[in-house]
A and B are shown apart, each in its own frame.
Chain A
């Protein structure tokens, strides 16, 4: 199975900060990479898929990028509603695999 190594696991930031979260795939996944946001007690929400495409209704402060097997989710200016846990997911091959998650906390 493809291993998705996500970093950091925890991130402390303030409103207005630029936040970057990274996922590294253990092998190539093309652009078959998505980013999810999950708030406590809620199902994950798809933000970006494939690697660069913002899903409908997602604020433009979110963006996805890639360089080889390294993928990045950037929040340009963190808003209060962005404090959450973020996961990457590769669906290039089965089994689908998630990164371990990044919890973005209020500094």
Chain B
């Protein structure tokens, strides 16, 4: 059973860096053929894909975040991390980490199948 758990500060000041960790159990972040994503959702609004890291370490980011995002993995801790710099109130949201889909037959993709419960991050002074 793959489980993910986000953690980090619930309050970040404007212009500072948002840093979150996703602790994974039931799967290895650095082996297999999996895509690990971060997604966010402002209160009462829709979902926005932030970016993903593959088990090889390659990354893709949403250009809408204008280069403010870094996603990395810490294999020894079986964790993922998200860093978002120069935050504003517009970055206030529930942040989810997720693992991509696989069909148990060797095919995999980015579409998230397993999700963490999400963590609310508020940007405010």
Interface residues of A (CB under 8 A from B): 1, 32, 34, 36, 42-46, 49, 55, 87, 89, 91, 94-101
Total number of B residues with any Cβ neighbor in A under 8 Å:
24
Cβ A55 vs Cβ B115 within 8 A:
no
In the bound complex, residues from chain B placing their C-beta under 8 Å from that of A94 are: 60, 62
* 28 intermolecular pairs with C-beta atoms under 8 Å apart: A1-B63, A1-B64, A32-B109, A34-B101, A42-B117, A43-B96, A43-B98, A43-B115, A43-B117, A44-B112, A45-B115, A46-B113, A49-B101, A49-B109, A87-B47, A89-B111, A91-B111, A94-B60, A94-B62, A96-B37, A96-B49, A96-B52, A96-B110, A97-B49, A98-B48, A98-B49, A99-B46, A101-B46
Q: Return the 10 tightest CB-CB contacts between A and B, nearest first.
A: A43-B115, A96-B49, A95-B62, A91-B110, A34-B111, A98-B47, A91-B111, A94-B60, A101-B46, A49-B111
B45–chain A nearest beta-carbon distance, Å: 8
Tell me whether chain B's interface is mostly helix, strand or loop, or mixed: strand
Closest A residue to B63 by CB, please name it: A95
Interface residues of B (CB under 8 A from A): 37, 46-49, 51-52, 60-64, 96, 98, 101, 109-113, 115-118
In the bound complex, residues from chain A placing their C-beta under 8 Å from that of B109 are: 32, 49, 91
Tell me whether chain A's interface is mostly helix, strand or loop, or mixed: loop
In the bound complex, residues from chain B placing their C-beta under 8 Å from that of A43 are: 96, 98, 115-118
Cβ A95 vs Cβ B47 within 8 A:
no
A55–chain B nearest beta-carbon distance, Å: 7
* Extra A-B contacts (8), CB below 8 Å, given A44-B112, A46-B111: A1-B63, A43-B116, A46-B113, A49-B109, A91-B111, A95-B63, A96-B62, A98-B48
In the bound complex, residues from chain B placing their C-beta under 8 Å from that of A34 are: 101, 111
A53–chain B nearest beta-carbon distance, Å: 8
Selected contact of A46 from candidates B47, B48, B61, B112, CB within 8 Å = B112
B121–chain A nearest beta-carbon distance, Å: 15
A96–chain B nearest beta-carbon distance, Å: 4
Give Cα A89 to B109, complex, Å: 12
